[in-house]
Structure 1
Amino acid sequence: MSYQQITIPVNDTVAERLADALMEHGALSAAIEDAYAGTENEQAIFGEPGMPTEQIWQQSKVIALFGGEDDAAAIVRQAAAACGLGELPCHSEILEEQDWVRLTQAQFDPIQISDRLWITPSWHEVPDADAVNLQLDPGLAFGTGSHPTTRLCLQWLDNELKGGESVLDYGCGSGILAIAALKLGAGSAVGVDIDEQAIRASNDNAAQNNVAAQFHLPDSLPEGQFDVVVANILANPLRMLGEMLANRTKTGGRIVLSGLLDEQITELSDIYAQWFDMQPAQTEDGWARLSGIKR
């Protein structure tokens, strides 16, 4: 059995209404994504502390799935009319029936981060039994180790942790950095994320790796400072959160920032130089990592 997938570019005023209308008129599913995901124009819509909250991306795309025999074009027209819209630009493609579980698993092989650090999905054999192995399956929360920003942060933890440090992972996603920190010798690790789903995924991943990381929503994060603060988020939240992250870092402690592009290095380094002695940036595939020592 094959399926039809229709992608429709829309703005934030109609995206949710159109997705709901598509479901009401017969779509099997309808999802909304950032039209600029993966580019420098990617928009963070979740409200970090001190930042306004957006409910949806200003430029979005609705991705709808239909059965192979459905009249997808007619359903799109009906849904558009129900929303008071005219003809919509669409991109259509056919998705053939596949073993989606096996297909997804085949896309995720073990990832070697360094000589001693690997990330291995649960369905794979551990490549190196003597290495530090993180068992992490792709899921609903961001962070599997495949993205350059995550690798850059993991490499810093592997190279710089001496043992016994307290670590804060701000924007923990899957919890991968907090979990890795503990497996690399940190004394304690706390993660924080604005997404309840990320907190659940992080707790599950910590249990899977037999580490005692703690994960919180921002409002429930305990007071205190940390030896190491890692924030692998986007440039705009990093701009807004500098003072808060600095206040969470002990004097003489270290900060690690990623999620920014090469061309944003100077700006972000200058912002954090208010509180930290910033080190030279490290880059990979157009992405950058900054680090500094708290004065």
Structure 2
Amino acid sequence: MGVTGDSLSEYERARLKRMERNEAMLKELGLLSFKGCGVSRARARASAPSSSARRPTRPRGGSERRRRSRRLSSSSSSPDDFVMLGGSGGGDCYVEPQPVVLAGDDSAAQRGGRGHLSRRARPRSSSRRRSPSPPPPIPPRAKKRKVAAPAVGMADCSPLTAEQKKIVRSYLPRVNVKGGYLDELEDYLTPLISQDNCRNVLRQISKLAHGEGIRYESARYGWPEGCYFKKDVIVTPLDDIVHLLREAKDCEDRWGRDHGNGWLVNHPLNKMYEFQQHLLSCGLKKKKAT
């Protein structure tokens, strides 16, 4: 039974006209490559009577083209790729289908494609909260601090001999006076260390040079009341500085370790030792020159 204009609704007649135009365009493009496509197929579907009877199954091994998913098809130029939308003015509008991207395929995203990635293939945002990094390892317990000896061998020049003391006195005429050598010590340290370092060394050495002694005044780690290092004893570059370093270490062992990394006594005494050895070196060079 043929399909007549009276048996079709207005919507179906408009749809058939659009399909005729689409079929003509596909023929011009050479895309109408298989049977059963076009207006004749649509007319057959429109004219087929509705029936509740079960449709006969197709025999296996037939030569007809099997239906396949567009997602798995390698060809992207089949007639089914064009979607028809009815325009408001009776015209047709063609929408290019979006490319389908399989899960795990990032090639479309790299090419700038408009396909929607699946949840698994979607790249993670950098703003997403990351798993917290593992805590840093706990550092090992600090070993018992040892006295840091200067680069010059201390044992060879301590204590000073009478001749060595004579050389030191030749450069420090006021060495036996309280604080009489601080100016020369400052002139020696200024070009060698930073201003803050020099200020701290001179402050601690000044206490030793005037016999005031040094006490650890920390509120948490401070020494007990009345505990001083070399109180009422004037310390000068003529003294055995290596022995003084050992005594300072003993004071820390008895009253509490210096948590300032040696800035209390150890570092100032090392700078005084360097000053002492510098004077001896200058005296020996002067003696050889004469």
TM-score, length-normalised on structure 2? 0.18
Going by fraction, where is helix more abundant, 1 or 2? Answer: 2
The structure with more radius of gyration: 2
TM-score, length-normalised on structure 1? 0.18
